[in-house]
Amino acid sequence: MKIMLVVGSLGGGGAERVAATLVNAWADRGDDVTLVSTFSGRGDCFYEISSRVRVMYLADLVRSTSTGALNAWRRFIALRRLIRMTCADVVVSFLAHVNIAVIAASRGTGIPVIACEHTNPIAAPRGRFQRFMARRLYPRADVLAVLTAGIVDPLRKEIPALRNVAVLPNPVDADVLRFWKMPGAPGSRKRVLAAGRLHPIKQFDVLIDAFATLANEFPDWDLYIWGEGPTRDALARQIGTLKLGGRVFLPGMTRELWAEMAKADIYALTSRFEGLPMAMMEAMAIGLPCVAFDCPSGPRELTRDGRDGVLVDRRDVGGLAAAFRELFSSEHLRGELGRKAAVSVRERFSTAVILARWDRLYARVGAIRGRYESGSRHHLP
C-alpha cells in the first residue's frame, strides 16, 4: 500500500514522534511510505526515520523567499501537485493547520484522506479563522481520527456536519519497550520527571510549586523537567526565587528521553489539557508510576480512570502535593503502580495493536481491500 503522511515539521514534538513511529512501522512491513513536512525546509529529523521512508520537504519544492499569503498559496499548490504526483492509496495528515491544507489540496483527486487531531480541539486555543476552516473542511475528510472517545461528542457539537469520526490512539514506539525502570541504589537520590514544551499550557510552574512544598520534607528527591519553550526564563526565575537551584533542573531537549525515564522514579503531568500525552504513555510503558492532573483529555484514558496511575483534580495543587507525598513515602506503592502501568499500556497501545486498527480504518475508506472491509467507506462505528 502507498501511504503519504503529512506533518507540519520534523521537530521534537509529540505529533512528530508519533509520525516517526508510524512511518517506520509501515515501511518495516513493506508499505511504500512518503513523509512530507509542510512548514520546514530540509534538515535533520529530531526522531530517527527509516531509510525506507521517502522524506520530502514542501518548502524545498516551493523555493520561494516570499512570505505571507503568496507563500502560503505557493505551498498549497505544491502540496496539491505532490499529492497527485505520489498517487498514494491514502493521505494521512496530523494537526489542525495541516489537516485543513491537506483536505483542501486533495479535493477532486479521489484519494481518501484521514485527518488526525492530536490535541483536544475543544480545549485547545484556536484562532477564529482556523475554527471556521475546520468547520467547513473537516466534514469533507473521509475520516477525522481523534485520540480518545471523550473528544467525539464535544467535537460533533462544535462541527454539526461532522459524521465520519473514528477513535484511533497513538502507538507506543516499539523501541520504548526495550526500556524498564531501573532500580535505584540504596541511598541514591530519587527523581520526579516531567517532559514537554515549556509553555503555559503545560503548567510546569504549578509542578514546581507543588514540589517546593515537599522539598524540605524529602531532601533526597529532585525534579527534572525536560523540554524547551517560551517559559524557560520564567521557570528558571521561579526556581531561583524558591532557592531550588540544586533540586529542580531544566536540562533542555534530549533524544534519550526513554533512558532518562528509566532512571526516574515518578512521572508527573500538570497540563491544562492534552490529546493523548505521548510522554506519559511512554513513561507508563517503562514502568514509572504517574501522577497527572485529570485534564481534558488523555490522563484518565491512559490510567483507566485512575486504576493505573494517580489522578488529581486539575486545579488542586494541594492534592498534587499530597499525591507526591504518598508516593515519595512508599517505594512499594511506586513499584506496584509502575508495574500495573507498564502491563496496561503495553497491552493496549503496542505498535502491533494500533497498526491493526489503522488497517481496519484503511479498509473502511477504500485504501486497501481486506478482511476488515464491510459496509460503506463513509460509515464508521
Asked whether residue 182 falls in the same domain as residue 325, the answer is yes
Q: How far apart are CA 265 and CA 178, in angstroms?
A: 17
Asked whether residue 240 falls in the same domain as residue 296, the answer is yes
Q: Does residue 19 have a pLDDT over 50?
A: yes
Asked whether residue 126 falls in the same domain as residue 193, the answer is no
Range of the domain at 229: 175-348
Cα 263 off chain centre by: 22
Asked whether residue 10 falls in the same domain as residue 118, the answer is yes
**DSSP string covering 187-223, please?**
T--EEEEEES--SGGG-HHHHHHHHHTTTTT-TTEEE
Q: Is residue 373 part of a domain?
A: no
Question: How much of the chain exceeds pLDDT 70, in percent?
Answer: 93
What's the total number of domains in the chain? 2
Range from 100-104, 134-138, 197-201, 368-372 carrying the lowest mean pLDDT:
368-372
Using the CB atoms, write b or e for 183-216: b if 16+ within 10 Å. Answer: eeeeeeebbbbbbbbbbebbbbbbbbbbbbbbbe
Q: Does residue 379 have a pLDDT over 50?
A: no
Which residue is associated with the grid cell 524545498? 60
Asked whether residue 114 falls in the same domain as residue 47, the answer is yes
pLDDT digits (tens, 9 = 90+) for 124-176: 667 888 889 999 999 999 999 999 988 898 888 889 999 899 999 999 988 89
Asked whether residue 247 falls in the same domain as residue 356, the answer is no
Per-residue pLDDT band at 371 (split at 50, 70, 90): very low
Q: Is residue 51 part of a domain?
A: yes
For strand 190-195 and strand 266-269, is the pairing parallel, antiparallel, or unpaired? parallel
Asked whether residue 144 falls in the same domain as residue 180, the answer is no
Q: Does residue 373 have a pLDDT over 50?
A: no
pTM: 0.85
Residue 194 maps to which CATH number? 3.40.50.2000
If one counts every other C-beta atom within 10 angstroms of the C-beta of residue 257, the result is 21
Mean pLDDT in residue range 303-307: 91
Asked whether residue 299 falls in the same domain as residue 199, the answer is yes
The three-state (H, E, C) secondary structure of 121-160, written as one string: CCCCCCCHHHHHHHHHHHHHCCEEEECCHHHHHHHHHHCC
Query: How confident is the model at residue 66, as a pLDDT?
Result: 58
Per-residue pLDDT band at 27 (split at 50, 70, 90): very high
If one counts every other C-beta atom within 10 angstroms of the C-beta of residue 255, the result is 10
For strand 90-94 and strand 113-116, is the pairing parallel, antiparallel, or unpaired? parallel
Asked whether residue 203 falls in the same domain as residue 98, the answer is no
Assign 33 to helix, strand or coil.
strand
Per the DSSP assignment, residues forming a β-bridge with 35 are: 5, 55
Asked whether residue 311 falls in the same domain as residue 356, the answer is no
Top mean-pLDDT range of 5-19, 78-92, 226-240: 226-240
Q: Does residue 44 have a pLDDT over 70?
A: no
Query: How confident is the model at residue 377, as a pLDDT?
Result: 38
Asked whether residue 250 falls in the same domain as residue 230, the answer is yes
Greater confidence (370 vs 244) lies with: 244
Q: Does residue 368 have a pLDDT over 90?
A: no
Mean pLDDT in residue range 340-366: 95
Q: Which H or E run includes 37?
A: strand 32-37
Asked whether residue 154 falls in the same domain as residue 206, the answer is no
Q: Is residue 376 part of a domain?
A: no
At 71, phi and psi to the nearest 5?
-65, -40
